[in-house]
Amino acid sequence: MTTLHLVRHGETAFNRDGKGLGQADVPLTELGERQAQAVGTAFAAVPVGRILSSPLVRAREVAGAISATTGVPVEIREALTEMDVGETEGLDFADMRARFPEFIRLWSGPHAVDTTLPGGESLRDVADRLAPILSELHSLEAGEVVLVSHNFVLKALLCALLEVPLENFRAFQMDLASITAVTLRNGRVAVRRLNDVCHLDALNLVPAARSV
């Protein structure tokens, strides 16, 4: 049996300020760094065999904290980079709605996953580029594997793992610095925990999800 731990990165200034964040390579805030350390500590008793991470620094910092705790090196996977949000990068929702009303209309509707962000990707594009990672995950040997990535990537990956339509991506919440765990055994996938943030309790914070 393989246990896959899906971890979202910690807080950045963009998340804190309610701005769209895709592939801009921004660092964690001071709070985000403390969240990263808390995530690392959460894996102290887990026999982690591999750590896969997005190349973006906000994910690599969290992966690095887990690596420091477990002694396992971080493997970078370009496919785990967050969705390219194009011209909405750094915009708050009011600015997005003012500048791209047609996009907001489509994004709010039933065809959101096939709606391309202005100058960027669609969620379907993200799911397509995750296909090699998904195949790799299903072929892993038994053990504990950690994957550190981003909001939309993790939602798309979870939909694929559970074999539910991508259109259900909004059914899953992935808070900052959260841990979701699924098991893979004989082609079957089961959820062990979802959007777990109990390791952040000592930080006296309420993590907030941010999506475009």
3-state helix, strand, coil in the chain (%, to 5): 45, 20, 35
What pLDDT shows up at residue 204?
64
Which domain range does residue 187 map to?
Answer: 2-84+130-203
**Mean pLDDT, rounded, for 161-171:** 96
Checking if the pLDDT of 209 tops 60, the result is no
* CA–CA separation, 196 and 180 (whole Å): 6
**Are 49 and 116 members of one domain?**
no
Whether 210 maps to a domain, the answer reads no
Last residue of a domain, one of 67, 101, 120: 120
**Are 59 and 116 members of one domain?**
no
DSSP sequence for 142-187: SEEEEEEE-HHHHHHHHHHHHT--GGGGGG----TT-EEEEEEETT
Q: Which residues are catalytic?
A: 9, 82
**Are 74 and 115 members of one domain?**
no
Taking only the tens place, the pLDDT of each residue in 74-133 is 999 999 999 999 999 999 999 999 999 999 999 999 999 999 999 999 999 999 999 999
